Structure 1
Amino acid sequence: MMSTLRSPDIEITGISSMATRHVLNELALRYRTLTGQKVLTESVGGVEAARRLEGGESFDFAVLAKDTMLRLAQSGYVDASTLVDVAQSGIAIAVASGSQCPEVGSEESVRRAIQHARAIGYSTGPSGAHLMALLKRWGIADEVAPRLVQTPPGVPVAKLVASGEVELGIQQLSELVNVEGITIAGELPVSIQRQTVFSGGACTRSWHRSAVLEWLSALRSVDFDEVKERHGMTSVGSVRG
């Protein structure tokens, strides 16, 4: 069990990508119940979060894709010694509720579904970069390009799927689960899957280092694994399925 903090009156603030928004909000509520510690996280697009940290905005902690956190640590915005892997999430495909789900059990079936889709929604985050790499690898990037719709940072792909603007939505599972108006067709098969690891760390401008370290430690607690699972994430080292 995690220890109880002695300074519950301190509020620690953080910034995260949208992929971890729901899980961090629920974990913060549980953490406050257990310890009295207030944790407030602002969730925006990952690109925007990094830009704001590099622009000098003050937060106590950040939770972003691991490669982004490593870059921020290297440039001095995050304390490298505090970095911890919080959770990971794979990429999934969604359609509007009531629509027929495409077959996505193999690499070939996923390629075929993308080629035949009226429009495909994707994000500016790691899942979007992975999709672009796949299209290039398959040799269909130019063919599919006119039907690709990239959401602005912070706008979930699920919103485009639910509204019917796109036929397929491809994004981290954690951003698709429990969203009204869509159905998850499935996760990408292992041969083309990419698990994105999200790491947390204390910002170098934080005035509440000890409280932040307690919070970061709690994020790795097995007591929180069930919450991560419900939000389409797993602890690093675990495998879904």
Structure 2
Amino acid sequence: MLREPGEAAVIDRRTLLAGLLAPRLLHAQAAPPTILAAGATKHAVEELQEGLRAAGQPVPAAAYDTVGALRDRVLAGERPAVVLLSAEAVAAIGARVAIPVDGVAAVGRTGVGLAAPAGRPSPDIGTPEALRAALLATDSVAVADPARGATAGRHFMGVLDRLGIAEAMRPKLRLVPFGVEGVALAARGEVPLAVSQATEITDRPGVRLAGLLPDPLQLWTVYQVAALRDDEAARSLLRLFTSGAAREAFRRIGFQPLA
């Protein structure tokens, strides 16, 4: 079929435009996540999702980020069915967003720890003095960027100040977006130590929990699940994350029940 002069160029421009717009349209049409969950809870959430999938039930979509980043998304107007965040972040959300009555439940608590590559000797970090010596002796430490609102990352920077080694450690720090990415670096042997919530280290392939930060320097963080909508989807997820299966999933990755 003959085309008028210039018609081929018009068609080519349309094809190019369609190719440029398609990814944006697909992104715009993607359903928002039903669950916003901090990295410390990620592996338990994934285990529960897999259980739903194996049972042939619908699997709610989840998105993961630092506590601070997810808190800010909600405060900016995003409304997932539930969030799994620190109690502090849930309180900040509750001060500005209506949370249904009985819409908050505890998941457990976790502390900050150090990951070391599996199969290698891990340093003694049982006292502040031992931790200080171990950090000064290491080549590098992976830690989640505190500027992104990472709970463990922010706390660890304060620990370095309290130990008096912040300046000495600065060139050794390898900042990553998430604590779990630092743990992955340790699993691959790219760093000898990584800082993260213990729940992001426990039972992970390729790494071992070298230990929790010593008590005088520890930060115990309580995590909660909170419903942000008063609908059946939110209530169903609240039941899921407070079920016996959920308690076991959170326990397996290192969450401790509240006393």
RMSD: 2.7
Question: Percent same amino acid among aligned pairs?
Answer: 25
1:169 aligned onto 2:194: yes
1:122 is matched with 143
Q: Which runs of 4+ in 1 moved over 6 A?
A: 31-35
Displacement of 1:209 in angstroms is 2.3
**Are the aligned partners of 1:90 and 1:187 in contact in 2 as well (CA < 8 Å)?**
yes
Q: Give 1:101 shift.
A: 0.7
Q: Provide the secondary structure at the position in 1 that maps to 2:70.
A: helix
Q: How many residues align?
A: 223
1:85 CA displacement: 1.6
2:38 is matched with 17
In 2: Cα distance, 1:127 partner to 1:185 partner: 15
**TM-score of the two chains, using structure 1 as the length reference:** 0.80
Q: Which residue number corresponds to residue 79 of structure 1? A: 99
Distance in 2 between residues matched to 1:161 and 1:80, nearest whole Å: 41
Residues 32 and 152 (structure 1 numbering): CA distance in 2 closer, same or farther, change over 3 Å?
A: closer
Deviations 1:131-166 (A, max 9, x none): 111111121111111111221147522122123332
Distance 1:213 1:69 in 2: 17
Answer yes or no: is 1:186 the counterpart of 2:173. no
Alpha-carbon offset, residue 69 of structure 1: 1.4
Question: Once the 2 structures are TM-superposed, how far is the Cα of residue 71 of structure 1 from its aligned partner?
Answer: 1.0
- What residue number does 1:209 align with? 231
Separation (CA, whole Å) in 1 of partners of 2:63 and 2:57: 20
Larger Rg: 1 or 2?
Answer: 2
Partner of 1:134: 159
In 2, Cα distance between equivalents of 1:153 and 1:131:
14
> Aligned partners of 1:155 and 1:188: how far apart in 2?
17
> CA distance change for structure 1 residues 39 and 85 in 2, over 3 Å: closer, same or farther?
same
What corresponds to 1:42 in structure 2?
Answer: 63
5+ residue gaps, structure 2, are: 1-32
Q: C-alpha deviations, 1:4-38, integer Å up to 9, x for none?
A: xxxxxxxx921111110111222344468889574
- Look up the match of 2:248: 226
CA contact (8 A) 1:95 1:161 kept: yes
Give the C-alpha shift of residue 113 in structure 1.
Answer: 0.7
Q: Name the residue aligned to 1:65.
A: 86
